[in-house]
């Protein structure tokens, strides 16, 4: 027990950087970063309150048809599915790619102790993700329904155990996945591609199950009669998509009778039992998937024959840097899933939601824009530019170097080559997202080849200053001290700041475009946008040249 407590304390401090936060409060030099983070959080409050207000209206609708419990189910489903999806990424990074594994594995510590301690810190991370989602549902239901004290006690217990089952499922799946993909020299690439396919498949399965459940429910002969007679009908039917959410909902909806207590007990017991099963399985699964991630193996036998032409071939510094960045991203599953996974999966999920549900709303929305009016083209180009902000490559380009950034500072590479190389690597990833987006759009609505090419050109051109904005932020405050590659992207404040600045940049251009679209010729708007993007690129290039040169000299 002492070992587990010690591991939890160490991992907690390492994960959340408590010592670093305390130092930042004391250090005047870093205090401004905390202020910026606070302002960024405050800027999200108005949007959050608008969403909560919308949830209040959603509760009223369910209340009018006598299905208040469905409101709770929506909250539990959304939070637990989100925990599971994000958990897949967090578990892989935390269990297999954190730098502390190289120190923990040689110690006389059981795999179950390591997994148990890391699971606890992951639970805390998931509370930060799930609480803003589930709390409004529980509070609105409790206040508007004037529920009693027992309701709030049940709510606290349910929130406490909320992340357990989704995280256990994610942990077991990742451990099995890592064990049986730990083969060959290309195992990282195999794992990453498989993980992307698996996540897309899981999302499609959830969407399909939801559609089947909805259709089966609505096509019932006595649907309206059953709806009136059973206040939990929708929960019992649609809750089958993810049963733990159904148990949590029924426990709160029926908290005054034995049915509520039994569902609460079942929810807690299944969470505890599933955790115990995960710990037992970790003894036989964890190390088998870990070996190879913390070792560097030398090649045996004859080495590859080197051609003299390869030795004499000269590579442009910016292209060599771009290739290095791409290799780093593709060889680190955490980077690849975050940088590439998001930009590819977003358009794919849009199409999947339409296909899985047979819903024509997406197609109708796109056709309302009228492809011939140019609105769809401009909206598509704006979405591609937004992907340049979402992929986080620009806002983490120096942070991903970590403690090895000193190598870049000492190499005889021009600052201009540093900028071009890092922008090129971002654009290569951006191109993958653009292809996926265009394929998705073409699947839903017909566009001619010229419009698709122009959309891609405008989007990619606008992505260059978007990437440069991120680079400006990252070189001003690079996050070089990290023990887990996930921290460089997922726990990097630069990403949040970059999204805020990028949103302002794109929002300003979008606002001016909307104002001008009915006043001047469409092709003139295209030319003006090209001019704005090119001018922004030149200005930011000059700013970056000065900043990088200055920062490379003063960074320790």
Assigned domain for 258 exists? yes
- Residues 330-343: tens digit of each pLDDT: 777 677 777 776 67
Q: How far is CA 245 from CA 87, 253, 281, 291, 435, in A?
A: 17, 12, 24, 36, 36
Answer with the residue of higher pLDDT: 224 or 49: 49
- Residues 524-548: tens digit of each pLDDT: 988 999 999 999 999 999 999 998 8
Under the banding of pLDDT at 50, 70 and 90, the label for residue 158 is very high
CA–CA–CA angle 125, 182, 275 (5° rounding): 40
Under the banding of pLDDT at 50, 70 and 90, the label for residue 365 is low
Assigned domain for 301 exists? no
DSSP for 112-139, please give it.
HHHHHHHHHHHHHHHHHHHHHHHHHHHH
Answer with the residue of higher pLDDT: 163 or 374: 163
273 and 344 fall within a common domain:
no
Cα 498 from Cα 517, distance rounded (Å): 28
Assigned domain for 312 exists? no
Q: What is the pLDDT of residue 35?
A: 62
Say how many domains are in the chain.
Answer: 2
Burial class of residue 318, CB neighbours in 10 A (0-12, 13-18, 19+): buried
Is the Cα torsion angle 304, 306, 307, 309 positive or negative in sign? Answer: positive
Q: What is the pLDDT of residue 167?
A: 92
Which residue range forms the structural domain that includes residue 11? 2-290
Assigned domain for 462 exists? yes
480 token code pair = 């070089």
234 and 375 fall within a common domain:
no
Helices within 369-492 (DSSP H only): 375-390, 405-410, 415-444, 449-476, 485-489
272 and 362 fall within a common domain:
no
pTM given for the model: 0.62
Does the pLDDT value for residue 240 go beyond 80?
Answer: no
9 and 119 fall within a common domain:
yes
Does the pLDDT value for residue 261 go beyond 90?
Answer: yes
- Residues 292-309: tens digit of each pLDDT: 555 443 333 444 444 545
337 and 238 fall within a common domain:
no
Under the banding of pLDDT at 50, 70 and 90, the label for residue 223 is very low
120 and 250 fall within a common domain:
yes
Q: How far is CA 457 from CA 85, 127, 535, in A?
A: 32, 41, 16
Assigned domain for 304 exists? no
Assigned domain for 427 exists? yes
Helix (H, G, I), strand (E, B) or coil at 293: coil
159: nearest Cα among 179, 182, 194, 132: 132
Cα 97 from Cα 111, distance rounded (Å): 15
Percentage helix, strand, coil for the chain under 3-state DSSP, each rounded to 5: 80, 0, 20
358 and 459 fall within a common domain:
yes
Cα 455 from Cα 381, distance rounded (Å): 5
CB 213 within 8 A of CB 240: yes
Under the banding of pLDDT at 50, 70 and 90, the label for residue 65 is confident
Residue 296 φ then ψ, to 5°:
-120, 115
129 token code pair = 């993700």
541: nearest Cα among 458, 467, 478, 460: 467
Those residues with Cβ within 8 angstroms of residue 490's Cβ, 6 or more apart along the chain or in another chain:
89, 90, 93, 334, 338
CB 436 within 8 A of CB 344: yes
Those residues with Cβ within 8 angstroms of residue 97's Cβ, 6 or more apart along the chain or in another chain:
293, 332, 333, 334, 484, 485, 486
Q: What is the pLDDT of residue 439?
A: 80
Does the pLDDT value for residue 214 go beyond 70?
Answer: no
392 and 269 fall within a common domain:
no
- Residues 412-429: tens digit of each pLDDT: 788 888 899 999 988 988
471 and 527 fall within a common domain:
yes
Q: Calculate what percentage of the chain has a pLDDT beyond 70.
A: 68
> Which range, 86-90, 136-140, 323-327, 439-443, is most confident?
136-140
């Amino acid at each position: 027990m002492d070992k587990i407590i010690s591991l939890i304390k160490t991992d907690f401090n390492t994960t959340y950087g408590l010592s670093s936060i305390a130092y930042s409060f004391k250090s005047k030099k870093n205090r401004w970063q905390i202020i910026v983070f606070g302002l960024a959080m405050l800027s999200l409050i108005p949007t959050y309150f608008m969403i909560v207000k919308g949830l209040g209206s959603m509760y009223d609708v369910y209340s009018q048809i006598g299905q208040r419990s469905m409101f709770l189910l929506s909250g539990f489903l959304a939070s637990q599915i989100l925990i599971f999806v994000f958990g897949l990424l967090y578990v892989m990074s935390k269990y297999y790619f954190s730098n502390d594994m190289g120190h923990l594995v040689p110690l006389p510590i059981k795999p179950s102790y390591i997994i148990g301690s890391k699971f606890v810190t992951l639970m805390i991370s998931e509370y930060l993700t799930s609480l803003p989602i589930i709390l409004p549902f529980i509070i609105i239901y409790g206040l508007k329904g004037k529920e009693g004290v027992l309701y709030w006690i049940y709510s606290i217990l349910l929130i406490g155990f909320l992340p357990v089952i989704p995280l256990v499922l994610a942990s077991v799946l990742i451990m099995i996945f890592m064990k049986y993909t730990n083969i060959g020299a290309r195992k990282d690439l195999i794992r990453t591609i498989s993980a992307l396919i698996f996540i897309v498949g899981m999302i499609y399965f959830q969407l399909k199950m939801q559609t089947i459940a909805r259709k089966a429910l609505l096509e019932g002969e006595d649907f309206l009669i059953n709806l009136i007679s059973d206040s939990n009908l929708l929960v019992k039917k649609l809750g089958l998509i993810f049963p733990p959410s159904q148990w949590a909902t029924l426990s709160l909806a029926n908290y005054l009778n034995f049915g509520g207590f039994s569902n609460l007990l079942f929810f807690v017991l299944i969470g505890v039992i599933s955790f115990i099963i995960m710990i037992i399985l970790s003894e036989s699964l964890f190390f088998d998937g870990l070996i190879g991630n913390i070792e560097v193996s030398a090649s045996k036998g004859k080495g590859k024959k080197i051609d003299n032409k390869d030795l004499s071939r000269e590579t442009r510094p910016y292209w060599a840097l771009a290739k290095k960045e791409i290799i780093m991203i593709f060889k680190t599953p955490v980077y690849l899933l975050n940088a590439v996974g998001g930009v590819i999966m977003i358009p794919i999920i849009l199409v999947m939601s339409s296909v899985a549900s047979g819903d024509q709303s997406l197609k109708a929305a796109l056709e309302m824009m009228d492809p011939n009016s140019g609105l769809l083209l401009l909206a598509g180009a704006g979405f591609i530019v937004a992907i340049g902000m979402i992929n986080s490559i620009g806002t983490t380009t120096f942070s991903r170097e970590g403690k090895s950034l000193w190598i870049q500072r000492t190499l005889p590479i021009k600052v201009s080559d540093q900028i071009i190389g890092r922008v090129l690597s971002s654009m290569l990833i951006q191109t993958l997202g653009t292809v996926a987006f265009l394929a998705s759009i073409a699947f839903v609505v017909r566009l001619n080849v010229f419009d698709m090419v122009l959309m891609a050109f405008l989007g990619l051109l606008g992505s260059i200053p978007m990437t440069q904005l991120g680079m400006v932020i990252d070189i001003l405050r690079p996050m070089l001290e990290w023990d887990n590659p996930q921290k460089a992207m997922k726990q990097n404040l630069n990403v949040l700041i970059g999204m805020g600045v990028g949103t302002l940049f794109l929002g300003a251009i979008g606002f001016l475009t909307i104002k001008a679209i009915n006043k001047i010729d469409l092709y003139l708007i295209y030319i003006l946008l090209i001019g704005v993007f090119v001018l922004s690129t030149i200005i930011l290039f000059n700013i970056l040249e000065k900043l990088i040169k200055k920062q490379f000299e003063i960074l320790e």
